[in-house]
Structure 1
Amino acid sequence: MNSSLDLNQSIPPFCLLDVGYSQIHNTCILEVAIILFLTVLIICGNMVVIFVFHCAPLLNHHTTSSFIKTMTYADLLVGVSCVVPSLSLLHHLKGLDEKLTCKIFGYMVSVLKSVSMASLACVSVDRYIAITRPLYYTTLVTPCRLRACITLIWLYSGLIFLPSFFGWGKPGYHGDIMEWCAASWRTSPSFTSFIVALLYAPAALTVCFTYGNIFRICQQHTREINERRARFGPQEGEPGEGQACPDKRYAMVLFRITSVFYILWLPYITYFLLESAGIYRHPLASFLTTWLAISNSFCNCLIYSLSNSAFRKGLKRLCSFCLRRVESKKPPEVSAAHSTCHV
């Protein structure tokens, strides 16, 4: 009898937040709500970005669009993979091995976010080459090299987290919704140092170096034009202040995406380092920092849609196409009444 009571007591799900537990539905309501909300936002947002890229040919003129699309597909897969913790909290994964499911999910999320991080670093390198080597850009950045770079991003991201399957630390996912992940799967200082040295640090340093030089060069061009204009007056055919560095505006859009990425990931990386060193460990911090970092998968498309004029035009084209399809499916009398209202 006591063993059955103990079994019943172990049935309630593992809740990191320790609030919002529903005995009626036997689930962590607050965690399910947060994860499902982010899942819907990430999937819908990145699906819109993918459709807009197909509707706006201007977006494909930049070679950086290949990296942006790679990042978008990775973010979309992050949203799809987030269905796993939702199903786990709703008791739909009871037949699966918790240890294996936890490892696979943690590995997938880590690899996909690594692809996003590496893609942003490659975007910054691409813009750096475009501004510092404009005459040789087309010979340096070829479609073949672009495809090879994207392939290497996926391979590198997949390989760097693979040791976690063989017991060498935790790959990085900390918003543990499975008890085994939180209680038995521990971080390792050596593996954390390995990830930081081969992924986080190189990506961050590359971004800082490239964008620092991009804005320094653009400011130098603008200053030279202003000095020439002050000395000799406006010259015919001379580029304006906004045209002094034509790639600066597009670089600013990408810089915003990169900045928000690292701002949202900084709390997570900090917690990752502190937990690995045995300095600080807390379930609430684990959940919040992890899902704050994962929310970046939606923020990327939001920033891109608000900052890029070509993207906004493509979004309008997509919306008008959807409206035309809706109008074409309406009965003739409804369409006629709708057009009469507009007249």
Structure 2
Amino acid sequence: MNATELNYTTEPFCLLDIGYSQIFNTCLLEVAVILFLTVLIISGNLVVIFVFHCAPLLSHHTTSSFIQTMAYADLLVGVSCLIPSLSLLHHLEGLNERLTCMVFSYMVSVLKSVSMASLACVSIDRYVAITRPLSYTALVTPCRLRTCIILIWLYSSLIFLPSFFGWGKPGYHGDVFKWCSSWDTQPIFTAFIVAALYAPAAFTVCFTYAHIFRICRQHTRQISERRARFGPQDPEPGEQACTDKRYATVLFRITSVFYILWLPYIIYFLLESAGIYHHAIASFLTTWLAISNSFCNCLIYSLSNSAFRKGLKRLCLLCLQRTDNKKPLGEPPAPLQPACHV
């Protein structure tokens, strides 16, 4: 590999082959798509993180630890998306293109692996809460939660390391570097990633949520039959097991959208690795469709979770209150209330 291939080229690499501007010497369509998603992902996940830290209502659920982990990972995905944006805008000249491509691909793959593993852990957490409500607090302790989150980051970091040792491309396909486009996926490495990450996570989610909703339907039917026979009772036996059904439904929506957006990417990843299909436009679109999930997570959560909406409303009111409390000079400032209660 010669020096020309290793160094950043003066003319940007356009995967879509459309929207290239001679005036700005850049791929306008790709820059617009990537910058738009970058702004959405960063701003959306910053809002989620602030609401979680400032809304005590959300600390009720232990799954908030995994949701926050996913929000931090998605925020870092948005930050890492600045790399292709800057490369298209000629702000990364002089960097080693090969190393930059490998590091960026590794970062994105690890961060999305953290999101995938966090969703799987969320489904396990809800499964334990529904199936073992009496022993849940003893099984799911803060120490075990922290250990699980550390293991998620560690496992995600290790699983893609072979990409630095010639095993093949870790999975990122939205190439904006010429070297990235010539970096081939390898069937063995792809099979390893699918077997070690994609398949176990998908199987876990399907298994746990199928059992959660089946158990909740059984308890709902039993409660309805008992009420019809004996009238309302306080408390209803079995009613506690399904108090989290609505919350589980919200998390199921997030998980479903995650896999819907990632399914085209995974299919293309498998087809390309097997040498069956390769197309530049499909590569770009499937990759950035999957990355857009980093914004969809916070959007679905904010629209579906009532506690989150209350926390967001409270945060907005506190921000407005702080603005209103700024009086002109000479007037005593009104006392400020703390914005966060941790």
Provide the alpha-carbon RMSD of the alignment.
Answer: 1.8
Q: Once the 2 structures are TM-superposed, how far is the Cα of residue 314 of structure 1 from its aligned partner? A: 0.7
Between 71-80 and 221-230, the greater mean CA deviation after superposition: 221-230
Corresponding residue for 2:337? none
Mapped contact 1:27–1:89 kept (Cα < 8 A): yes
- Map 1:253-332 to 2 at 5 A: 253-329=250-326, 331=328
Which letter does structure 2 place at the counterpart of 1:204?
A: A
Q: Once the 2 structures are TM-superposed, how far is the Cα of residue 241 of structure 1 from its aligned partner? A: 11
Residue 212 of structure 2 corresponds to residue 193 of structure 1: no
The CA distance in 1 between the partners of 2:240 and 2:137, in whole Å, is 21
Q: Once the 2 structures are TM-superposed, how far is the Cα of residue 235 of structure 1 from its aligned partner? A: 2.9
Mapped contact 1:13–1:27 kept (Cα < 8 A): yes
SS of residue matched to 2:325: helix
- Structure 1: runs of 5 or more not aligned: 1-9, 334-343
The CA distance in 1 between the partners of 2:201 and 2:241, in whole Å, is 28
Mapped contact 1:304–1:311 kept (Cα < 8 A): yes
Which letter does structure 2 place at the counterpart of 1:209?
A: F
Corresponding residue for 1:339? none
Residue 239 of structure 2 corresponds to residue 236 of structure 1: no
Mapped contact 2:77–2:294 kept (Cα < 8 A): yes
Aligned identity (percent) is 79
Corresponding residue for 2:334? none
Q: Once the 2 structures are TM-superposed, how far is the Cα of residue 160 of structure 1 from its aligned partner? A: 0.1
Which letter does structure 1 place at the counterpart of 2:200?
A: P
Corresponding residue for 2:140? 141
The CA distance in 1 between the partners of 2:62 and 2:235, in whole Å, is 27
Residue 38 of structure 2 corresponds to residue 49 of structure 1: no
Corresponding residue for 1:119? 118
Which letter does structure 2 place at the counterpart of 1:193?
A: A
The CA distance in 2 between the partners of 1:200 and 1:255, in whole Å, is 17
Which letter does structure 1 place at the counterpart of 2:104?
A: F
Corresponding residue for 1:338? none
Mapped contact 1:17–1:287 kept (Cα < 8 A): yes
Q: Once the 2 structures are TM-superposed, how far is the Cα of residue 236 of structure 1 from its aligned partner? A: 3.1
- Map 1:200-239 to 2 at 5 A: 200-230=198-228, 232-237=229-234, 239=236
Corresponding residue for 1:84? 83
Question: How far does the alpha carbon of each residue in 1:58-82 deviate from its partner, in whole angstroms, 9 at most, with x for none?
Answer: 1011110000000000000000000
The CA distance in 1 between the partners of 2:224 and 2:126, in whole Å, is 24
Normalised to the residue count of structure 2, the TM-score between the two structures is 0.91
Mapped contact 1:225–1:244 kept (Cα < 8 A): no
Which letter does structure 2 place at the counterpart of 1:286?
A: S
Corresponding residue for 2:177? 178
The CA distance in 2 between the partners of 1:243 and 1:77, in whole Å, is 37
Which letter does structure 2 place at the counterpart of 1:271?
A: Y
- Structure 2: runs of 5 or more not aligned: 1-8, 331-342
Larger helix fraction of residues: 1
Mapped contact 1:16–1:287 kept (Cα < 8 A): yes
Q: Once the 2 structures are TM-superposed, how far is the Cα of residue 233 of structure 1 from its aligned partner? A: 4.4
Q: Once the 2 structures are TM-superposed, how far is the Cα of residue 125 of structure 1 from its aligned partner? A: 0.2
Normalised to the residue count of structure 1, the TM-score between the two structures is 0.91
The CA distance in 2 between the partners of 1:236 and 1:112, in whole Å, is 48
The CA distance in 2 between the partners of 1:74 and 1:296, in whole Å, is 12
Mapped contact 1:42–1:76 kept (Cα < 8 A): yes
Count of equivalent residues: 323
The CA distance in 2 between the partners of 1:291 and 1:204, in whole Å, is 20
Corresponding residue for 2:36? 37
Q: Once the 2 structures are TM-superposed, how far is the Cα of residue 330 of structure 1 from its aligned partner? A: 5.8
The CA distance in 2 between the partners of 1:126 and 1:237, in whole Å, is 27
Compared CA separation, residues 32 and 141, structure 1 to 2 (3 A): same
Corresponding residue for 1:248? 245
Which letter does structure 2 place at the counterpart of 1:188?
A: Q
